[in-house]
């Protein structure tokens, strides 16, 4: 019964039973190479996307098998999960990069001063701009936000803090239903409302805002409600224990805790409706001239401008297409600025969490 002394190859207990750090990258590279070989031989010639796809498909089972052999079942499952989750992110980048590249490369051509200072009044073919559409979008979306955010926020507060009975259940249910209203139906509703109140054929910016409000409220409610629900009850109870009235608890404790998420939700809803085309076509109409009065006359908006330039071009289609893409680029830039602003505000004013 002699104790076996350790053999000459020293095993480091900290890294025993684990794959070396380079193993991951070697496996990845190997899978891509094998994928490329299969692609060239079996498919219609070498193509980078097919290679990447095949590489990914080969990589997943290989890394699982290798890790399972060396590290064990649980660690292998962990590696597979990491690979899948990272893969999901990379997969989402593909359409994003493609979309942004399309918009940027096509939209940069007309991203000039003329575009932002001219309208389309009396402009045929080259030249012209979208300043009338830009104003329209800002005004219509601004009014919609002004109406939707207070109503949505207060409803979410009601559902989380106050609602207990059939009214709350009914509101929750119907907000769900509202999320499914097709955008064009919201436009029809706004158009019909204006027709009943002001006479047939009334199109104006405010009608467009009404359509957008119908679409925006459920998103604000749904997003805010979830985030308010997640605020731990202990915080609320601590506040009540100190004698703070309920309404002040909500304003000072619950809302700030959920602040970053709420601002995120609001920005999300603005992003959702700012690009809506169909309802605005019906409710706010077309025009080529500037109109800053939301209560009279049609008002052009950016998404309708983009669609109109694409769908109803003149002879030299290229000029209209260019303006359409630049309009799209402007829309995206607008939302991104709002997004940045929202994140900045959220970060500045949110309480420090453990994360």
Partner 1 sequence: MATVTQSTQEVTPSPGSERAAPPPRRRIGDRVFSGVATGSGITILVILVAVAGFLLMQAFPALTTSPDVLEEQGYGEFWSWILPFAWGTVWASFWALLLGVPVAIGIALFISHYAPRRLASGLGYVIDLLAAVPSVVFGLWGSIVLATAVQPLWMWLNEYFGWIPFFAGQVSGTGRTLLTASIVLAVMILPIITSLCREIFLQTPVLHEEAALALGATRWEMVKMSVLPFARAGIISSVMLGLGRALGETMAVAMVLSGAPVITVEVLTSQNPNTIAAVIAQNFAEAYGLKTNQLIAGGLVLFAITLLVNMGARLIVSRYKEFSGAN
Partner 2 sequence: MRSGSLPQFRERIAVKISMIGAPVALLAAAALTLSACAANETANPGTGGTGSTTASITLSGKGASSMSAAQQKWIAEYQTANAGITINYSPDGSGAGREAFISGAVQYAGSDRPFKDEEMGAGKFGKCTAESNALNLPVYISPIAVIFNVEGVEDLKLDPDTLAGIFAGTITKWNDAKIVATNPGVTLPDGNITAVHRSDDSGTTNNFTDYLNQASPSVWTEAASDTFPAAFGGEAAKGTSGVVDAVANGSGTIGYADSSAAKELGHAQLKVGSEWLSPTAEAAAKIVDESEQLKGRSEHDLALKLNRKAAGVYPAVLVSYALVCEAYSDAKEAELVKGFIGYVASAEGQKAAAEAAGSAPLSSDMQAKVKAAVDSVK
Instruction: Indicate which of partner 2, partner 1, none lies near residue 129 (CB less than 5 to 8 Å, by partner kind).
Output: partner 2
Q: Print the binding letters for residues 322-351 with partner 1: x by CB under 8 A, - otherwise.
A: ------x--xx-xxx--xx--x--------
Report the C-alpha gap between 56 and 73 in whole angstroms: 21
Instruction: Indicate which of partner 1, partner 2, none lies near residue 17 (CB less than 5 to 8 Å, by partner kind).
Output: none
Contacting partner 2 (CB under 8 A), which of 9, 14, 315, 353? 315
Q: Is 246 in the site for partner 2 (CB under 8 A)?
A: no
Q: Which of 137, 95, 110 lies closest to 331, judged by CA?
A: 137
- Could you tell me the end-to-end alpha-carbon distance of the chain, in angstroms, rounded to an integer? 54
Report the C-alpha gap between 169 and 225 in whole angstroms: 13
Report the C-alpha gap between 336 and 329 in whole angstroms: 11
Which SS3 state, helix, strand or coil, does residue 273 take? helix
Within 10 A of 35 (CB to CB), how many other CB atoms are there?
A: 20
Cβ atoms of 350 and 260 within 8 Å: the answer is yes
Q: Is 288 in the site for partner 2 (CB under 8 A)?
A: yes
Q: Is 141 in the site for partner 2 (CB under 8 A)?
A: yes
Contacting partner 2 (CB under 8 A), which of 289, 333, 336, 347? 289
In the window 146-175, what residues touch partner 1 (CB under 8 A)?
Answer: 150-155, 157-163, 167-168, 170-175
Long-range own/partner contacts, residues 116-121 (CB < 8 A, 24 or more apart):
119/288, 119/289, 119/290, 120/288, 120/289, 120/305, 121/288, 121/289, 121/290
Report the C-alpha gap between 69 and 19 in whole angstroms: 10
Q: Is 108 in the site for partner 1 (CB under 8 A)?
A: no
Report the C-alpha gap between 316 and 230 in whole angstroms: 55
In the window 107-136, what residues touch partner 2 (CB under 8 A)?
Answer: 114, 117-119, 121-125, 128-129, 131-132, 135
Smaller CB distance to partner 2: residue 126 or 237? 126
Please give the torsion angle defined by the CA atoms of residues 65, 66, 70 and 75, in that order, rounded to the nearest 10 degrees. -60
Q: Is 69 in the site for partner 1 (CB under 8 A)?
A: no
Cβ atoms of 148 and 221 within 8 Å: the answer is no
Backbone angles phi, psi at 132, to 5 degrees: -65, -35
Report the C-alpha gap between 178 and 175 in whole angstroms: 5
Q: Is 193 in the site for partner 2 (CB under 8 A)?
A: no
Contacting partner 2 (CB under 8 A), which of 38, 53, 297, 343? 297
| Options 49-57, 86-94, 215-223, 286-294: segment touching partner 2 (CB under 8 A) | 286-294
Instruction: Indicate which of partner 1, partner 2, none lies near residue 271 (CB less than 5 to 8 Å, by partner kind).
Output: partner 1
Contacting partner 2 (CB under 8 A), which of 145, 148, 207, 277? 145
Q: Is 158 in the site for partner 2 (CB under 8 A)?
A: no
Q: Is 10 in the site for partner 2 (CB under 8 A)?
A: no
In the window 22-61, what residues touch partner 1 (CB under 8 A)?
Answer: 43-44
Contacting partner 2 (CB under 8 A), which of 72, 293, 336, 347? 293
Q: Which of 335, 329, 308 lies closest to 320, judged by CA?
A: 308
The secondary structure of the chain in percent helix, strand, coil, rounded to multiples of 5, reads 75, 0, 25
Q: Is 230 in the site for partner 1 (CB under 8 A)?
A: yes
Q: Is 201 in the site for partner 2 (CB under 8 A)?
A: yes
Q: Is 320 in the site for partner 1 (CB under 8 A)?
A: no
Q: Is 260 in the site for partner 1 (CB under 8 A)?
A: yes
Residues near partner 2 (CB under 8 A): 114, 117-119, 121-125, 128-129, 131-132, 135, 138-139, 141-142, 145-146, 149-150, 200-201, 248, 251-252, 255-256, 259, 263, 266, 281, 285-293, 296-298, 308, 310-315, 317, 338, 341-342, 345, 349
């Amino acid at each position: 019964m002699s104790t076996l002394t350790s053999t000459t190859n020293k095993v480091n207990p900290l890294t025993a039973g684990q794959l070396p750090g380079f193993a991951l990258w070697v496996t990845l590279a190997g899978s891509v190479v094998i994928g490329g070989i299969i692609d060239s031989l079996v498919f219609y010639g070498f193509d980078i996307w097919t290679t990447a796809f095949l590489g990914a498909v080969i990589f997943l089972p290989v890394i699982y098998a290798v890790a399972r052999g060396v590290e064990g079942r649980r660690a292998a499952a962990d590696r597979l999960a990491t690979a899948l989750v990272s893969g999901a992110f990379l997969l989402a980048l593909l359409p994003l990069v493609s979309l942004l590249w399309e918009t940027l490369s096509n939209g940069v051509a007309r991203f000039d001063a003329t575009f932002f200072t001219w309208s389309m009044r009396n402009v045929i073919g080259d030249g012209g701009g979208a300043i009338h559409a830009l104003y329209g979008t800002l005004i219509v979306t601004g009014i919609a936000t002004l109406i939707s955010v207070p109503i949505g926020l207060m409803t979410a507060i009601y559902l989380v803090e106050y609602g207990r009975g059939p009214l709350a259940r009914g509101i929750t249910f119907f907000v769900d239903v509202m999320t499914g209203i097709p955008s064009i139906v919201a436009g029809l509703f706004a158009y019909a409302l204006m027709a009943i109140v002001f006479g047939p054929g009334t199109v104006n910016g405010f009608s467009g805002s009404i359509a957008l409000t119908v679409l925006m409220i459920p998103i604000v409610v749904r997003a805010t409600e979830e985030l308010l629900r997640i605020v731990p009850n202990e915080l609320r109870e601590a506040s009540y224990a100190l004698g703070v009235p309920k309404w002040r608890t909500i304003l000072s404790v619950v809302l700030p805790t959920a602040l970053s998420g709420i601002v995120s939700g609001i920005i999300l809803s603005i992003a959702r409706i700012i690009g809506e085309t169909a309802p605005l076509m019906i409710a706010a109409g077309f025009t080529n001239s500037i109109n800053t009065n939301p209560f009279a006359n049609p008002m052009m908006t950016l998404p309708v401008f983009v669609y109109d330039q694409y769908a109803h071009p003149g002879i030299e289609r290229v000029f209209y297409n260019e303006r359409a893409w630049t309009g799209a680029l402007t829309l995206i830039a607008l939302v991104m600025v709002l997004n940045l602003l929202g994140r900045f505000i959220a970060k500045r004013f949110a309480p420090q969490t453990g994360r």
